[in-house]
Amino acid sequence: MSNPRYLIIGGGGHAAALAEILIKQKKTIIGVVAPEITTGLKIFDSVPQYLSDDDVLKFSVDQVLLVNGIGAMPRQTLRKKIYTRFSGLGYTFATIIADSAEISDYSSIGSGAQVMNNCVVNIGTVIAENTIINTSASVDHDCNIGAHCHLAPGSTLSGQVIIEGNTHIATGVNVINNITIGENTIIGVGANITKSIPSNSIVYGARSVIKNLGETDDN
């Protein structure tokens, strides 16, 4: 698509952070789709607002690139639903990489994935679709990050780490090398992960206690 036009879905903090990255890259934002603009900032003041997700259908698939501005917090499914619905209809979600991110030429960043300010993605790493690598997260060499994950700000993965799909790595988590973290898992804030974690787990606290997701509330 020459001279792509960007339609942002969501009007909160994550959408605003993405909008600023696009504006700095001199991209054209043609609208924001949200029942309510909740950011509190003026960044969307001059952008047309569309209130319903069905309004996306007013644009043909070759007219726009979608931007998934819905954040991904534990147990929230809206971001994945938006991605699945509109990619199923043939829309393309923009892959967004902040100018301040350091991305290896030998890495791969999937459709709709978002690499925010000051991140590092090192050589040989693969990041799948719709995943957020959030501010100042660092993903070292030969990692494989599944779809619909969120690596929250300041999280750090050493080399050859596998994160399976739908997994949330909270702020400030550290993961040593050669670890696999299963799908649909939540690693709580500040945990230090030194052994592999099964799917559907929640890991929390200074001692990184592991429980099945059904056993406890989020931490």
The distance of closest approach from Cβ of residue 117 to ligand JB2 in the complex, given in angstroms and rounded to an integer, is 12
The distance of closest approach from Cβ of residue 85 to ligand JB2 in the complex, given in angstroms and rounded to an integer, is 10
Beta carbon nearer to ligand JB2, 53 or 183: 53
The distance of closest approach from Cβ of residue 196 to ligand JB2 in the complex, given in angstroms and rounded to an integer, is 25
Beta carbon nearer to ligand JB2, 69 or 146: 69
Please list, in sequence order, all residues whose beta carbon lies within 8 angstroms of the beta carbon of residue 7, skipping any fewer than 6 positions away. Answer: 29, 30, 31, 32, 33, 56, 59, 64, 65, 66, 67
List residues bridging with 28 in a β-sheet: 5
CA distance 200 to 182: 7
The distance of closest approach from Cβ of residue 174 to ligand JB2 in the complex, given in angstroms and rounded to an integer, is 19
Note the residues at the interface with ligand JB2 (CB under 6 A): 9-15, 33-36, 38, 53, 70-73, 78
How many CB atoms lie under 10 A from the CB of residue 57?
Answer: 12
> How many residues are listed for the chain in this entry?
219
Helix (H) or strand (E) holding 24, with range, is: helix 13-24
Beta carbon nearer to ligand JB2, 13 or 159: 13
Beta carbon nearer to ligand JB2, 78 or 162: 78
CA-based torsion, 186, 82, 152, 183: positive or negative: positive
The arrangement of strands across the sheet holding 180-181 comes to 108-109, 126-127, 144-145, 162-163, 180-181
Beta carbon nearer to ligand JB2, 44 or 204: 44
The distance of closest approach from Cβ of residue 54 to ligand JB2 in the complex, given in angstroms and rounded to an integer, is 10
